[in-house]
Structure 1
Amino acid sequence: MYLSLLITFMCFAGEVFSSSLFSPCKKSDLPCIETTVNNALPKIFDGIPELGILKSDPQFIAVIDADLSALKYTFYNSTNYGYKNCEVSNLIINDDLTRISGKAVCPSLHMNGVYDMKGVLITLPIEGNGNYTFEGASFQLDFDIKLDKIKGSEGKTHLFIRKITYKPKALTPIQFNFQNLFNGKEDLAAVVKKFAKENWLDITLLLQDPIWEVSLDLLKTAVNKYLATFAIDDTILN
């Protein structure tokens, strides 16, 4: 989920790439770029208050609302943890800096908040509202980011993230914990909890897209706010 933030600091042109948080790298030296990006990510995730950019670890999400074919759920006041441990690799960058692709591995993501859910969870009826936690999630996220170049009011060129395409893949079992299922009926809740433990991957595939979509959209907004202050012209090293 932090992947769009990569773009914030990949402002490079000509034969080099640099920024205040990055060591200079030749454009063709992708291992160097990956190293400096991964070294800078923890600082990015701490937020940039002077630019009005909020923390990404933890990341607060006010509402996630999903209306699936057989299941409706809303997550309120959710918080994501663990982005500082993610690492970017396999970068591919086109010559005119309008497309960047690669992958990131996040070894331990956690999420908690308040839920409201009703419908069918794969094959089981489910209903409840209360606190929830998702623990122990390890993900690989393949991403492709398309960018536009725009002229700022000062006449310099800035990047703008137009679209992020992504494909998440859960690498380890996720522990789903929904409190107050069926209004506290423990016998019914126990069946769902057992089912969730045994079918964690199917449940992940069912629930994950609305979560990723909202989180990446927040990141894109933050990154574009940063990019508005950061001109490509100023990153070229002679």
Structure 2
Amino acid sequence: MMKLKLYERTKTTFAFTSLKNMNSEFDASRTPCDFNDEECITNSFNETLPAIAAGIPTLGVKPSDPLKMEIIIGVLPKLTYIFRNAVMTGYKDCIVTNALLKLETTKFIYDLLCPSIVLKGDYEMNGQMFENVINGKGNGTVVTENIHIQIDADLEKYKSDTGKEHILIRTAQIEHHERTNVVIGFDHINKDNDELAAKILKRLNENWLAASKYAEGPAFRFAMNLFIQNINTYFKKVPLDELFYKV
């Protein structure tokens, strides 16, 4: 499990609204969700998420798919890695399930079922994994297939200068559950011996579940933090009573 603490309100905020009205004035003909209606909240968020992930320039929401990251640093007990010029894709194809908005306890809980999350970048990696010495540098790609992500977020409610109530995510606990496969591709994972590099890569792919659980944390944590910051930017623009609508 990873727990993210987000920035202060002035730097982040988060929201979801009807896709077709995202950049328009409030449409009184829309039917708001009852905040206790799990199905309505889920369907509304599911319709909006692809647009949030793609980015909404008019609202200042940066893209989360593709999610560009200048540098990712992972420091593990026996392994250190760096991704530069990294790009992660796949969030806009995620399906939202089991969304619960609990305003009385300031919680927002939802699941994401993502067909494919792809990380690409220029990598450097040094250390040890599965008793193999790794000293690699080159192009790296990691494809995670059919991953289930669960987000358990603590909210803050506040009123804007207009008197409208908003919500934002203060912290989020994120768990990665089932995944059906991870395809690992690192050029020159042992830069001194191509034959050994091929054997190491083969072993990593044969043991993809253990490899991903060991190494993915820093990269996914960094990416999810940025994704949630982008959603928070959207929340700041849209009042609570305009976030979720029947679709």
TM-score by length of 2: 0.82
Cα distance in structure 2, aligned partners of 1:64 and 1:236: 34
**Deviation >4 Å, runs of 4+:** 233-237
Judging by fraction of residues, say which structure has more strand: 1
Computed over aligned residues only, the root mean square deviation of the Cα atoms, in angstroms, reads: 2.8
Task: Tell me which of the two structures has the higher relative contact order, counting C-alpha pairs closer than 8 angstroms and 6 or more residues apart.
Answer: 2
Cα distance in structure 2, aligned partners of 1:236 and 1:33: 6
2:70 aligned with 1:62, yes or no? yes
Relative distance call for 1:202 and 1:114 in structure 2 (3 A) is same
Cα distance in structure 2, aligned partners of 1:178 and 1:18: 38
2:119 aligned with 1:119, yes or no? no
TM-score by length of 1: 0.85
Percent identity, aligned pairs only? 30
Report the counterpart of residue 15 of structure 2 in structure 1.
8
Give the alignment of 1:92-171 within 5 angstroms. 92-96=100-104, 98-171=106-179
User: How many aligned positions are there?
Assistant: 228
Report the counterpart of residue 75 of structure 1 in structure 2.
83
Cα distance in structure 1, aligned partners of 2:94 and 2:243: 26
Q: Which amino acid aligns with 1:85?
A: D
In the alignment, is the contact (CA less than 8 A) between 1:18 and 1:235 conserved in 2?
no
Report the counterpart of residue 14 of structure 1 in structure 2.
none
Find the residue that maps to 1:202 and give its secondary structure: helix
In the alignment, is the contact (CA less than 8 A) between 1:19 and 1:235 conserved in 2?
no
Cα distance in structure 1, aligned partners of 2:229 and 2:182: 28
Cα distance in structure 2, aligned partners of 1:47 and 1:30: 25
Cα distance in structure 2, aligned partners of 1:236 and 1:221: 19
Residue segments in structure 2 that go unaligned for 5+ positions in a row: 1-5, 7-13, 23-29
Relative distance call for 1:151 and 1:19 in structure 2 (3 A) is farther
2:212 aligned with 1:201, yes or no? no
Relative distance call for 1:35 and 1:157 in structure 2 (3 A) is closer
Cα distance in structure 1, aligned partners of 2:166 and 2:84: 35
2:159 aligned with 1:176, yes or no? no
What's the offset of the Cα at 1:170?
A: 4.1
Find the residue that maps to 1:72 and give its secondary structure: strand
Relative distance call for 1:199 and 1:18 in structure 2 (3 A) is closer
